[in-house]
């Protein structure tokens, strides 16, 4: 090979060799094949070569050109491969992994269960679709009793049972009371039952599906003081040590006497503000279990008595977090959920 061509070939190869990234290689291509490139200049010299040597010179230039082009192709593919295998920039700042957390309702359920466990209650689960007998009848709420209208129940068409009646989407967790008496058979009973409930209602403080927690305590000589002490224990642990409860007379068919339980408002601490009723917020229903209910559950009311309560979880959360509309809990808006 002509020494001139040999020099150009070596120079071109070493330039290609030095390229570290594709961009370098593109620049090298210009330096070799561009207007003033090494090979271009060599081609321009062909016309000045002695005619007898011109053909072989030309052929040598062409084969050098071919060799360089192949060299380029090899280098290019090696750079592409190495780029894809080392595309992680270890010096770049890390991307923060997004961590999820339990939904507010699940968090509250865990918290509530933990508090009642401290008092010796055990968590039980009872059906969300249950017989009329468990949801109403055994709770001293006979069919056609006007009190049943308050529960705005979804009835399920179809199955009826001579003793148990229709199936319903449970409008409260009180069906757990009878189910627990049947399961435990003998007192003492300390049960907490948490489940979804369904009612035909929707507004800022109601959703058609919501959660309640039901407590049942049955033993000998249970008094209203026990009930009040249990509620104070719960509220001071759940809402904070400064919050206390009060009992307001009420009426439920399944408890006698019956109460509404109020807790001091977290904003004004009982003084009275825009958010509460003269310093108090309503937590839910409670009372001493009606003797007829104990009897329906196979427990002798002459020997045993007890108390029960049923409170809405969403409502309890709203009272703790000052939530203005409980429907927010079920809209799955990440901007809302992230705040808890």
50 contact partners, CB below 8 Å, separation of at least 6: none
Residue 214 contacts ligand DAH per CB under 6 A: yes
User: What residues numbered 61-90 form the site for ligand DAH, per CB under 6 A?
Assistant: none
Residue 199 contacts ligand DAH per CB under 6 A: no
Q: Is residue 337 classed exposed, middle or buried when 0-12, 13-18 and 19+ CB atoms within 10 A define those classes?
A: middle
Euclidean distance between CA atoms 313 and 324, whole angstroms: 15
Residue 287 contacts ligand DAH per CB under 6 A: yes
Euclidean distance between CA atoms 70 and 255, whole angstroms: 93
Cα 170 from chain centroid? 24
Binding segment for ligand DAH (CB under 6 A), chosen from 49-57, 140-148, 188-196, 306-314, is 306-314
Cα 76 from chain centroid? 49
Give the nearer residue to ligand DAH in terms of CB position, either 4 or 206.
206
Residue 140 contacts ligand DAH per CB under 6 A: no
Euclidean distance between CA atoms 198 and 179, whole angstroms: 19
Q: Which of 175, 130, 19 is nearest to 83 (CA)?
A: 19
Give the nearer residue to ligand DAH in terms of CB position, either 167 or 191.
191
Out of 167, 261, 283, 308, point to the residue binding ligand DAH (CB under 6 A): 308
CB 312 → ligand DAH: shortest distance, Å? 8
User: What residues numbered 220-279 form the site for ligand DAH, per CB under 6 A?
Assistant: 252, 255
CB 231 → ligand DAH: shortest distance, Å? 12
Give the nearer residue to ligand DAH in terms of CB position, either 165 or 284.
284
Give the nearer residue to ligand DAH in terms of CB position, either 12 or 141.
141
Out of 15, 75, 148, 172, point to the residue binding ligand DAH (CB under 6 A): 172
Q: Are 188 and 219 in contact (CB under 8 A)?
A: yes
Residue 286 contacts ligand DAH per CB under 6 A: yes
CB 191 → ligand DAH: shortest distance, Å? 11
Residue 176 contacts ligand DAH per CB under 6 A: no
Q: Which of 261, 318, 293 is nearest to 137 (CA)?
A: 293
Q: Are 189 and 289 in contact (CB under 8 A)?
A: no
Give the nearer residue to ligand DAH in terms of CB position, either 224 or 268.
224
299 contact partners, CB below 8 Å, separation of at least 6: 181, 187, 218
Note the residues at the interface with ligand DAH (CB under 6 A). 172, 174, 214, 252, 255, 284-287, 308-310
């Amino acid at each position: 090979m002509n020494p001139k061509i040999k020099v150009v070939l070596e120079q071109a190869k070493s330039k290609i060799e030095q390229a570290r990234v594709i961009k370098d290689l593109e620049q090298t291509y210009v330096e070799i094949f561009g207007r003033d490139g090494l090979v271009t200049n060599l081609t321009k010299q062909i016309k000045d070569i002695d005619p007898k040597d011109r053909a072989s010179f030309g052929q040598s230039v062409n084969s050098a050109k071919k060799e360089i082009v192949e060299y380029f192709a090899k280098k290019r593919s090696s750079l592409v491969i190495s780029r894809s295998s080392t595309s992680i920039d270890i010096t770049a700042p890390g991307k923060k992994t997004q961590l999820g957390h339990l939904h507010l309702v699940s968090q509250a359920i865990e918290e509530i269960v933990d508090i009642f466990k401290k008092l010796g209650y055990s968590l039980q689960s009872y059906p969300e679709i249950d017989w009329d007998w468990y949801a109403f009848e055994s709770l001293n709420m006979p069919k056609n009793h006007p009190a049943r209208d308050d529960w705005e129940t979804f009835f399920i068409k179809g199955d009826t049972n001579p003793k148990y009646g229709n199936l319903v989407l449970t409008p409260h967790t009180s069906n757990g009371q009878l189910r627990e008496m049947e399961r435990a058979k003998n007192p003492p009973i300390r049960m907490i039952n948490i489940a979804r409930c369904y009612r035909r209602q929707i507004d800022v403080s109601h959703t058609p599906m919501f959660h309640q927690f039901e407590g049942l305590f049955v033993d000998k000589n249970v008094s209203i003081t026990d009930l009040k002490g249990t509620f104070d224990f719960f509220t001071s642990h759940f809402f904070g040590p400064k919050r206390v409860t009060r009992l307001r007379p009420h009426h439920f068919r399944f408890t006698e006497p019956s109460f509404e339980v109020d807790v001091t408002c977290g904003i004004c601490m009982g003084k009275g503000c825009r958010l509460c009723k003269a310093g108090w917020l309503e937590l839910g229903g409670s009372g001493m279990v009606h003797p007829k209910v104990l009897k329906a559950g196979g427990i002798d009311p002459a020997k045993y008595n007890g108390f029960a309560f049923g409170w809405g979880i969403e409502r309890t959360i709203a009272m703790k977090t000052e939530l203005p509309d409980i429907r927010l809990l079920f809209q799955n808006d990440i901007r809302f959920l992230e705040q808890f």
